[in-house]
Every structure is written in C-alpha cells, then in structure tokens.
C-alpha cells in the first residue's frame, strides 16, 4: 500500500518518521499546556480541558453551535474557496457504523444530480454503557476538540474537499478512485492550517482559549501519529491489541474506552497511517510551492489548486505544481 501511494520507504523507516514526529508533537503539546497553566503537568492541563465537554444529550447541538463560525472564518481569511452555499447537517452516526467511528462526513457522490444534502455524523454514547464509559467517551468530544473535528470533517476539511472533487474537471474514474493519504491527509492538514490562521473560537481573541484549541489540535495530531506507529507495530512488529491500547493511552492521552477502539481499528485498517503521512506530504508540498513562488504565493490559490486535481496521491500533484522535476520524489 505504501508503494501504491508512491512512498519509497520500508515500514521501519516510516515508523522512524512517525516516532520522530510523535516526539516533536509531544513537545508542542507541552508548550501549549504551559500557556494555560505553567504550574501543572501538561497531561493534567489537558485532562481539565477534556472535562469541559457536552452531556450525552447536548453533544449534537453543541457540535452544531460553532460550525457556522468556523465556516465564516475560513471564508473571511480566504483560506480556500468553498464551492457551495449548502451547509453540512450535524446528525448522530447511524447505529451500524458507531462501532468504528467517532465522527464522519457523508456527501453526495460525484455522479449525484439531485440530492445536495451532506451529513456530518457524530457518534453518541450508547444507552447500555455505564456512566463512567459515557464520560470517557465524551472526553474525546470536549468543546475544543469538537471544533477541531468540525474543521477536519466539514470546513475546510472533508466537506469542502468533496465539494471541490465533485466540481473539479477530474475524470469520472479519478472522482471515484481516490488516495487515502490525500483524502485524510487533507482533512488532518486543515486542522493545523485553520489554527495557524488564527482561529480561536468565536468572539474576541483570548490567548488562553487559543492555547486550549492548540492543545486539542495537538492531541488530534498525536492520535494520528499513534495510528501511524500502531499500524506498523501491529502488522509488522507483532504488537498486540493490548499493546496498541496502551500506546494510545500513553501518547495521545485517551481513556481506556476510546483507546481500545482505536487499537481495534488498527487491526483491520492499517491504512489509517495515511492521516499523518498525507498531512506531512501536503505540508512539504506547501513549503516547496511557497519557496518556488516567493511573494506570489497565495494560500487560497495553493489550496484551490491542490483540490482542483481531485484526490490523487500527493506525489502526482507535485508533478503539476512544481517546475523542478528533481523535487518531485522528495515527498517527505
């Protein structure tokens, strides 16, 4: 699969990159926590942020609350063109899919000519769970992480990406055969991109609130880095589901319930390593295009150009956006 995405490195080399990036992200996590409270360990600061979460009945309305503000920020900052005025609808994940998803986006397919509805699904607690299990689950939907997830799933993540795909001049085949690394890499890339542009929630800027968003975004990055490492450890190095669960608990600070769900997903979806690998490729491509274009570089033009190709491997986009052929293979 790595070869299919034109990543000419073996699994151990990819794991080395993952562990290196994991250590760097852990340092960013600590730095954000120190802004919030320099007197507490970073994990305790984050635990306090996690405790600020919706109830099981307010999860969906609270998710909806800031979604329009995020969209307005993306438009105002001219980060990327949003090809439609149709808003994504927040709904509960359908029961058959709850075992494998925290949140997801469902959009009209590229050949749909009538339906315009798009659904941003959020997975609620289950009635049979204990109070402790429900609370553990909801920590992953604390108010700051929920907005970061909304960026990932909707604006300017998956929803905008799929709108651009449907509106693109890509061939019919290219619209249905997409790159896992590009699709998830783009959505994960946008989490950092929007916060780097200054998003810190609606209302007047508050540096403490901004640091809480950065802490939540960093934890989401830690999650995807853990997925990268765990996918290789499970399938190439003999790690068990228990080992993987502990890895998620240690490095992305998940409680037992969501940590085990992430570990189990790794047993049948080793490609979830591509969230991080796709993001890293897009960050590298952006740096390379910015160096090439200099003062002519435009963030919106870059993002629009990337999305205009559909959703191919990032390596192929490098051939279209970079003039120097010797740079095309330097994807990471």
In a domain, 6, yes or no: no
CB 93 within 8 A of CB 99: no
- Residue 8's pLDDT is 79
- Residue 23's pLDDT is 97
- Residue 309's pLDDT is 92
- Residue 5's pLDDT is 62
- Residue 2's pLDDT is 44
In a domain, 233, yes or no: yes
- Residue 6's pLDDT is 65
Q: Is pLDDT larger for residue 136 or for residue 37?
A: 37
**Weakest mean pLDDT among 1-15, 190-204, 272-286:** 1-15
In a domain, 3, yes or no: no
Identify the band that residue 1 occupies on the pLDDT scale cut at 50, 70 and 90: very low
d(C-alpha 215, C-alpha 45), whole Å: 9
d(C-alpha 252, C-alpha 164), whole Å: 32
Q: Contacts by 106-110 with C-beta closer than 8 Å and gap 24+? A: 107/158, 107/159, 107/162, 107/163, 107/166, 108/166, 109/166, 109/176, 110/165, 110/166, 110/172, 110/175, 110/176
| Strand spans (E) along the chain | 89-92, 103-106, 119-122
Which residues have a Cβ under 8 Å from the Cβ of 236 and sit 6 or more positions away?
11, 12, 15
Identify the band that residue 114 occupies on the pLDDT scale cut at 50, 70 and 90: confident
pLDDT of 134 strictly over 70: yes
Quick one: which of 275, 107, 105, 264 has its CA closest to 180? 275
In percent, how much of the chain has pLDDT > 90?
A: 80
What average pLDDT does the segment 36-62 reach? Answer: 95
In a domain, 5, yes or no: no
In the chain, how many domains are there?
1
With H, G, I as helix, E, B as strand and everything else as coil, classify residue 103.
strand
d(C-alpha 65, C-alpha 330), whole Å: 41
pTM, whole model, 2 decimals?
0.92
Instruction: State the chain's mean pLDDT as an integer.
Output: 93
Identify the band that residue 296 occupies on the pLDDT scale cut at 50, 70 and 90: very high
Identify the band that residue 3 occupies on the pLDDT scale cut at 50, 70 and 90: very low
159: left (phi over 0), alpha (psi -120 to 50) or beta: alpha
d(C-alpha 165, C-alpha 117), whole Å: 16
Which residues have a Cβ under 8 Å from the Cβ of 15 and sit 6 or more positions away?
228, 229, 232, 233, 236, 237
In a domain, 4, yes or no: no
Domain that holds residue 143: 11-327
- Residue 10's pLDDT is 87
CB 162 within 8 A of CB 187: no
In a domain, 132, yes or no: yes
In a domain, 100, yes or no: yes
Which residues have a Cβ under 8 Å from the Cβ of 272 and sit 6 or more positions away?
184, 224, 227, 231, 265, 266
In a domain, 94, yes or no: yes
In percent, how much of the chain has pLDDT > 70?
A: 98
Q: What is the CA radius of gyration of the chain?
A: 19
Identify the band that residue 143 occupies on the pLDDT scale cut at 50, 70 and 90: very high
Angle between helices 158-167 and 143-153 (to 10 degrees): 10
């Amino acid at each position: 699969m790595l070869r299919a995405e034109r990543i000419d490195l073996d699994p151990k080399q990819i794991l080395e990159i993952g562990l290196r990036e994991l250590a760097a992200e852990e340092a960013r996590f600590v730095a954000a926590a120190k802004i919030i409270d320099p007197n507490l360990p970073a994990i305790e600061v984050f635990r306090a942020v996690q405790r600020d979460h919706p109830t099981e009945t307010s999860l969906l309305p609270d998710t909806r609350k800031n979604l329009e503000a995020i969209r307005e920020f993306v438009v105002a900052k001219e980060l990327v063109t949003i090809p439609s005025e149709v808003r994504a609808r927040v709904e509960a994940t359908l029961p058959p899919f709850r075992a494998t998803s925290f949140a997801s986006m469902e959009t009209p397919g590229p050949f749909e000519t009538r339906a315009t509805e798009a659904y941003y699904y959020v997975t609620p607690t289950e009635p049979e769970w204990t109070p402790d299990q429900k609370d553990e689950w909801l920590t992953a939907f604390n108010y700051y992480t929920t907005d970061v997830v909304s960026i990932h799933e909707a604006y300017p993540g998956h929803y905008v990406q799929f709108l651009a795909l449907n509106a693109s001049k890509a061939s019919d085949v290219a619209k249905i055969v997409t790159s896992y690394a590009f699709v998830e890499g783009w959505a994960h890339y946008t989490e950092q991109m929007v916060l780097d542009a200054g998003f810190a929630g609606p209302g007047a800027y508050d540096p403490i609130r901004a640091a809480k968003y950065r802490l939540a975004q960093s934890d989401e990055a830690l999650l995807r880095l853990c997925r990268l490492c765990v996918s290789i450890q499970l399938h190439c190095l003999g790690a068990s589901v228990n080992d993987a669960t502990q890895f998620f608990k240690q490095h992305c600070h998940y409680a037992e319930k969501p940590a085990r769900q992430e570990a189990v997903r790794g047993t049948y979806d080793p490609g979830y390593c591509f969230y991080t690998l796709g993001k890293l490729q897009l960050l590298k491509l952006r740096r390379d295009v910015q160096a090439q274009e200099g003062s002519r570089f435009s963030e919106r033009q870059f993002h629009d150009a990337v999305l205009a190709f559909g959703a191919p491997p990032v390596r192929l986009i490098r051939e279209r956006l970079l003039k120097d052929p010797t740079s095309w293979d330097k994807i990471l």
